[in-house]
């Protein structure tokens, strides 16, 4: 067994240091964490006196709740069954008993607060107005009870006290809002939701049986956030509620136990919420569309009227929800319904495309009436010239050959002879593993034993981080290593293991003064808004040199969280908010207002709450935007593209428009005319595009280096002509599943695409060995060739080509990942411009 020693990295120390340092073994926490303060409802109820009679019952209630709810309960009640709270669990069992008494001498709150659940169900204005006052403490205790000690609670108390004073006038409103919010969530599995069904359905018995301390605390935590926001006078009331709602722990839905199909209950007071588990997507979207108007007016003052309206709507909805709940639909039916709703999102249906093509075709026809009649060019430009040549050539071949022209493979002659004998191909193409690679793998295997990354440059840190994420070994230990000192770049592309506590702990000690790149992808679980407020976004300008921020998949990040992040990182250049389902057009306005002139890259793939036309005015504020990625946002239309490129096209270098199925040739025309410096374009799954689109592109964008096509309906000749006309600058070409690709394309690629480094010909069944062989031997810069699904290619290609460098991926059923070596495109944080760092 190897004993791992801790050593600093410099060669000098290694040379001089002969005595081994004591081996560092990851130590388990020596001491159970201090007892977390009791849940506020308890203590506060005790303090209030008038509610004293209720408190014992609520004490009992959680403890007698069934095992099903145990896991959720444990976050603050101390039943240690949540795995993530491992270090805490040791402390918690003890905390259980102690907790309930420990609270009383603590934190003297001036107001005698009612228990939140009580206030909700008592529905008295006065009581309700008190509830916010206890919320700060509950936030502290709930959120940090598992990990921090009394200090956090004191902080919360401090927050709470001024808030409590200021709350009087808004007490009623807040209470209503609270109730509404409470009324929103009426799923049976989560007791706290049911508790406060606003239509007065809630009963004391319900409360008793379902209420759990921590859930009450969670609710209260939400409220305090809500209340704080209102006290700040910032943000939209609706979004606050929404963001607050997002702060609850895993509901049973998130864990997959929730009742399916209960749309009205869960979702969308303002239509922009994404329900966890993506079960109710379509309804959510429909409601979102219906509710766009009321919700998107920015209002900084909470108006009672707005709340009342909300209240009514929510009451209706909760009533619906309750009625739905009481129906006894079978679980299988619900699963099927959910699957049906979700299928459209994840599968590609050919038939559906045709059906859908009809209605959009109608609108598209109106827009592009001029385009239909126009030719691609008025003058014989390079594209049409190329097309003509290619067509003539194939016609000539067809005429010459005696056979029927149905055999497309013979329409164009390809001269390529494989070198060497096929039989003797034993080149396994496995290059000798480099020492760097071996070391990297060794480090990844033993990552827990690394004690310091002090002298390791960022490049290695990133590679190591990537390896660890890929092998699912990433953990807090390595995160802390990355966060040591004053790091300049932290990149973790999979933070799905990261919990809120771990994140808070790590980031609280992080010195962000030198941080230029922060990537915490798929960190939805660990990064809700309030955690951001207390850590990264705690103060404006706390990340002064941060220029790249990637929070891909932060599904708990809302507009408010984003606002504070943006104020904390004023020099942001590149922002990735893909798959952040709570981010709406409001966020884009926020970004436009504060970063309009400096933001260079914006990635919004799959942000389902964003309506393209609504965010358009804000988008136009970005003067220098180089990269816009709106893949997956279905509301992107030709109008959107046309308007956007008209204003911002001069700077645009990369556009990702994959899955924006409404787009037609007219948007490509607009892009071609307005974006002369376009370097990269992704047109995956845009089935309405025709050959003219390629024509526009060939003529308009001469500097295209990356073109990603997938499942498009372009013809072989058109692609060939495109490459002839402007393929000289192509470095990365993807023709994945472009069915009609054939020998014309192969000839053009071989002839013109001299700078091609990466080529994807997966699923192009019309290419024979000769065609691909010609490409491989002619494109001397080619490093990666992907041919997944090309069964027609044989060893003749593999062994017969003479390109020493190229790596052919996708044949022979080899494990895909071992062969994929991505060209290191992420050399710099910002892709197209250099960002000067002040340090």
CA separation for the pair 430, 446 (Å, rounded):
25
Structure tokens at 141: 């205790």
Assess 439 for contact with other proteins (CB under 8 A). yes
> Residue 283 Cβ, how far from other proteins at the closest point, in Å?
52
- Quote the DSSP letter at residue 106: S
Candidate segments 4-12, 104-112, 267-275, 315-323, binder of other proteins by CB under 8 A: 4-12
Candidate segments 29-37, 432-440, 483-491, 809-817, binder of other proteins by CB under 8 A: 432-440
Assess 4 for contact with other proteins (CB under 8 A). yes
Assess 616 for contact with other proteins (CB under 8 A). no
- Residue choice 9, 52, 168, 343 for contact with other proteins (CB under 8 A): 9
Assess 818 for contact with other proteins (CB under 8 A). no
Q: What is the distance between the terminal CA atoms of the chain, rounded to a whole angstrom?
A: 43
Q: What is the CA radius of gyration of the chain?
A: 30
Crossing angle (nearest 10°) for helices 585-595 and 612-619: 10
> Residue 85 Cβ, how far from other proteins at the closest point, in Å?
31
- Residue choice 203, 395, 446, 486 for contact with other proteins (CB under 8 A): 446
Among 286, 420, 255, smallest CA distance to 797 is for: 420
Question: Which parts of 185-279 fold into alpha helices (H)?
Answer: 191-195, 204-210, 213-232, 237-245, 263-266
Assess 449 for contact with other proteins (CB under 8 A). yes
Assess 783 for contact with other proteins (CB under 8 A). no
> Residue 14 Cβ, how far from other proteins at the closest point, in Å?
5
- Residue choice 409, 440, 614, 830 for contact with other proteins (CB under 8 A): 440
Assess 718 for contact with other proteins (CB under 8 A). no
Among 553, 535, 490, 497, smallest CA distance to 517 is for: 490
> Residue 24 Cβ, how far from other proteins at the closest point, in Å?
11
Assess 24 for contact with other proteins (CB under 8 A). no
> Residue 6 Cβ, how far from other proteins at the closest point, in Å?
9
CA separation for the pair 568, 595 (Å, rounded):
12
> Residue 464 Cβ, how far from other proteins at the closest point, in Å?
9
Interface size with other proteins, residues (CB under 8 A)? 26
- Residue choice 435, 817, 836, 839 for contact with other proteins (CB under 8 A): 435
Contact between 176 and 153 (Cβ < 8 Å): no
Assess 7 for contact with other proteins (CB under 8 A). yes
Distances (CA, A) of 186 to 309, 318, 321: 19, 7, 7
For residue 247, give the 3-state DSSP assignment.
coil
CA separation for the pair 705, 727 (Å, rounded):
8
For other proteins, the binding residues in 41-60 under the rule CB under 8 A are none
Candidate segments 47-55, 72-80, 252-260, 428-436, binder of other proteins by CB under 8 A: 428-436
Nearer to other proteins, 9 or 646 (CB): 9
Among 387, 407, 389, smallest CA distance to 398 is for: 407
Nearer to other proteins, 432 or 839 (CB): 432
Contact between 744 and 769 (Cβ < 8 Å): no
> Residue 20 Cβ, how far from other proteins at the closest point, in Å?
8
Assess 308 for contact with other proteins (CB under 8 A). no
Candidate segments 261-269, 360-368, 441-449, 812-820, binder of other proteins by CB under 8 A: 441-449
Q: Which helix (H) or strand (E) holds 312?
A: helix 304-326
As beta bridge partners, residue 707 has 681, 733
CB atoms inside a 10 Å sphere around CB 730? 23
Distances (CA, A) of 351 to 281, 344, 347, 354: 22, 12, 12, 5
Candidate segments 3-11, 517-525, 629-637, 810-818, binder of other proteins by CB under 8 A: 3-11
Nearer to other proteins, 460 or 832 (CB): 460
> Residue 430 Cβ, how far from other proteins at the closest point, in Å?
8
Structure tokens at 501: 């506590």
> Residue 11 Cβ, how far from other proteins at the closest point, in Å?
4
Nearer to other proteins, 168 or 438 (CB): 438
Nearer to other proteins, 20 or 361 (CB): 20
Binding map of other proteins across residues 452-491, x = CB under 8 A, - = no contact:
---xxx--x-------------------------------
Among 221, 222, 224, 194, smallest CA distance to 210 is for: 194
Nearer to other proteins, 449 or 614 (CB): 449
CA separation for the pair 787, 105 (Å, rounded):
70
Angle at 355 between CA 350 and CA 358, to 5 degrees: 130
Assess 450 for contact with other proteins (CB under 8 A). yes
For residue 707, give the 3-state DSSP assignment.
strand
Assess 15 for contact with other proteins (CB under 8 A). yes
Assess 425 for contact with other proteins (CB under 8 A). no
Assess 836 for contact with other proteins (CB under 8 A). no
> Residue 483 Cβ, how far from other proteins at the closest point, in Å?
18
Q: 259-289: string of b/e by CB count within 10 Å (b at 16+)?
A: bbbbbbbbbbbbbbbbbbbbbbbebbbebbe
Please enumerate in sequence order all residues whose Cβ is within 8 A of that of 710, keeping only pairs 6 or more positions apart, or say none. 658, 683, 684, 685, 734, 736, 737, 738
Contact between 132 and 163 (Cβ < 8 Å): yes
CA separation for the pair 626, 649 (Å, rounded):
9
> Residue 545 Cβ, how far from other proteins at the closest point, in Å?
25
> Residue 456 Cβ, how far from other proteins at the closest point, in Å?
7
Contact between 709 and 734 (Cβ < 8 Å): yes
For residue 708, give the 3-state DSSP assignment.
strand
As beta bridge partners, residue 173 has none
Please enumerate in sequence order all residues whose Cβ is within 8 A of that of 441, keeping only pairs 6 or more positions apart, or say none. 467
Nearer to other proteins, 435 or 813 (CB): 435
Nearer to other proteins, 21 or 339 (CB): 21
Nearer to other proteins, 443 or 575 (CB): 443
For residue 732, give the 3-state DSSP assignment.
strand
Three-class SS of 578-622: CCCCCCCHHHHHHHHHHHCCCCCEEECCCCCCCCHHHHHHHHCCC
Nearer to other proteins, 439 or 780 (CB): 439
Candidate segments 11-19, 621-629, 666-674, 807-815, binder of other proteins by CB under 8 A: 11-19
CA separation for the pair 566, 585 (Å, rounded):
15
Candidate segments 191-199, 230-238, 446-454, 610-618, binder of other proteins by CB under 8 A: 446-454
CA separation for the pair 8, 5 (Å, rounded):
10
Q: Which helix (H) or strand (E) holds 363?
A: helix 350-367
Nearer to other proteins, 135 or 465 (CB): 465
> Residue 827 Cβ, how far from other proteins at the closest point, in Å?
15
For residue 654, give the 3-state DSSP assignment.
strand
> Residue 442 Cβ, how far from other proteins at the closest point, in Å?
5
> Residue 17 Cβ, how far from other proteins at the closest point, in Å?
11
Please enumerate in sequence order all residues whose Cβ is within 8 A of that of 512, keeping only pairs 6 or more positions apart, or say none. 536, 542, 543, 546
Nearer to other proteins, 14 or 816 (CB): 14
Which phi and psi (to 5°) does residue 759 adopt?
A: -135, 135
Assess 805 for contact with other proteins (CB under 8 A). no
Nearer to other proteins, 455 or 820 (CB): 455
Assess 710 for contact with other proteins (CB under 8 A). no
Candidate segments 9-17, 217-225, 345-353, 777-785, binder of other proteins by CB under 8 A: 9-17
Assess 14 for contact with other proteins (CB under 8 A). yes
Assess 443 for contact with other proteins (CB under 8 A). yes
Interacting residues with other proteins (CB under 8 A): 2, 4-5, 7, 9, 11-12, 14-15, 432-436, 438-440, 442-443, 446, 449-450, 455-457, 460
């Amino acid at each position: 067994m190897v004993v791992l020693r801790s050593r600093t990295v410099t060669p000098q120390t290694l040379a001089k240091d002969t005595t081994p340092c004591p081996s560092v073994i990851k130590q388990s926490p020596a001491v159970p964490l201090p007892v977390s303060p009791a849940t506020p409802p308890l203590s506060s109820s005790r303090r209030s006196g008038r509610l004293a009679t209720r408190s014992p019952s609520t004490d009992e209630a959680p403890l007698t709740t069934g095992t099903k709810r145990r896991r959720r309960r444990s976050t603050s009640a101390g039943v240690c069954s949540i795995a993530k709270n491992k270090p805490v669990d040791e402390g918690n069992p003890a905390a259980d008993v102690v907790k309930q008494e420990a609270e009383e001498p603590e934190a003297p709150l001036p107001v005698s607060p009612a228990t939140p659940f009580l206030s909700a169900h008592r529905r008295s204005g006065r009581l309700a107005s008190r509830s916010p006052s206890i919320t700060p403490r509950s936030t502290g205790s709930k959120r940090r009870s598992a990990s921090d000690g009394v200090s956090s609670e004191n902080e919360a108390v401090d927050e709470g006290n001024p808030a409590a004073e200021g709350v009087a006038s808004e007490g009623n409103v807040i209470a209503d809002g609270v109730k509404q919010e409470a009324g929103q969530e009426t799923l049976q599995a989560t007791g706290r939701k049911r508790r406060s069904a606003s239509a007065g359905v809630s009963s004391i018995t319900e409360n008793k049986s379902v209420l759990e301390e921590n859930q009450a605390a969670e609710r209260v935590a939400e409220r305090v956030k809500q209340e704080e926001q209102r006290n700040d006078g910032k943000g939209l009331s609706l979004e606050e509620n929404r963001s607050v709602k997002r702060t609850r722990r895993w509901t049973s839905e998130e864990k997959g136990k929730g009742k399916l199909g209960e749309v009205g209950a869960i979702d969308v007071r303002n239509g922009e919420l994404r329900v966890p588990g993506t079960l109710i997507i379509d309804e959510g979207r429909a409601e979102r569309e219906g509710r766009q108007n009321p919700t998107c007016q920015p209002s900084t003052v909470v108006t009672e009227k707005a709340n009342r309206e909300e209240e009514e709507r929510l009451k209706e909805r909760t009533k619906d929800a309750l009625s739905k709940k009481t129906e006894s639909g079978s679980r299988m039916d619900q699963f099927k319904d959910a699957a049906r709703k979700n299928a459209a999102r994840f599968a590609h249906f050919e038939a559906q495309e045709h059906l859908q093509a009809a209605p959009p075709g109608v609108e598209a026809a109106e827009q592009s009436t001029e385009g239909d009649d126009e030719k691609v060019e008025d003058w014989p430009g390079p594209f049409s010239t190329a097309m003509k040549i290619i067509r003539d050539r194939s016609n000539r071949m067809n005429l010459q050959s005696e056979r029927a022209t149905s055999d497309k493979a013979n329409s164009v002659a390809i001269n390529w002879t494989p070198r060497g004998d096929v039989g003797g191909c034993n080149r396994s193409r496995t290059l000798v593993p480099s020492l760097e690679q071996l070391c990297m793998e060794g480090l990844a295997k033993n990552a827990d034993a690394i004690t310091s990354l002090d002298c390791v440059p960022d490049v290695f840190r990133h590679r190591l981080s990537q390896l660890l994420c890929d092998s699912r070994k990433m953990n807090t230990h390595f995160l802390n290593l990355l966060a040591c000192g004053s790091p300049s770049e932290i990149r973790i592309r999979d933070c799905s293991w990261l919990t809120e506590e771990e994140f808070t702990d790590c980031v609280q000690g992080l010195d962000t003064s030198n941080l230029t790149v922060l990537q915490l992808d798929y960190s939805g679980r660990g990064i809700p808004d309030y955690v951001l407020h207390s850590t990264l976004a705690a103060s404006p300008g706390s990340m002064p040199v941060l220029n790249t921020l990637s929070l891909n998949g932060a599904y708990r990040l809302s507009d408010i969280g984003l606002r504070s992040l943006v104020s904390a990182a004023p020099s942001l250049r590149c922002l990735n908010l893909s798959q952040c389902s709570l981010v709406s057009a409001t966020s884009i306005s926020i970004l436009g207002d504060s970063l309009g002139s400096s933001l260079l890259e914006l990635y919004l793939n799959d942000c389902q709450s964003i309506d393209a036309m609504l965010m358009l005015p804000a988008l136009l504020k970005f003067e220098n935007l180089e990269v816009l990625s709106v893949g997956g946002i279905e509301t992107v239309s030709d109008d959107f593209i046309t308007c956007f490129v008209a204003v911002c096209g001069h700077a645009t270098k990369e556009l990702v428009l994959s899955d924006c199925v409404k787009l037609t040739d007219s948007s490509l025309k607009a892009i071609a005319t307005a974006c002369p410096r376009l370097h990269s374009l992704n047109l995956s799954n845009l089935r309405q595009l025709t050959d003219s689109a390629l024509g526009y592109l060939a003529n308009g964008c001469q500097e295209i280096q990356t073109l990603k096509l997938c499942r498009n309906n372009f013809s072989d000749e058109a692609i060939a002509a495109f490459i002839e006309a402007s393929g000289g600058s192509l470095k990365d070409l993807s023709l994945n599943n472009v069915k009609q690709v054939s020998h014309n394309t192969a000839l053009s690629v071989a002839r013109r695409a001299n700078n091609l480094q990466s080529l994807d010909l997966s699923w192009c069944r019309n290419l024979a060995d000769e065609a691909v062989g010609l490409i491989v031997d002619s494109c001397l810069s080619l490093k990666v060739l992907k041919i997944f699904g090309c069964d027609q290619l044989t060893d003749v290609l593999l062994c017969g080509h003479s390109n020493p460098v190229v790596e052919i991926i996708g044949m022979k059923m080899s494990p895909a990942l071992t062969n994929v070596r991505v060209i290191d495109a992420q050399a710099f944080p910002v892709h197209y411009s250099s960002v000067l760092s002040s340090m």
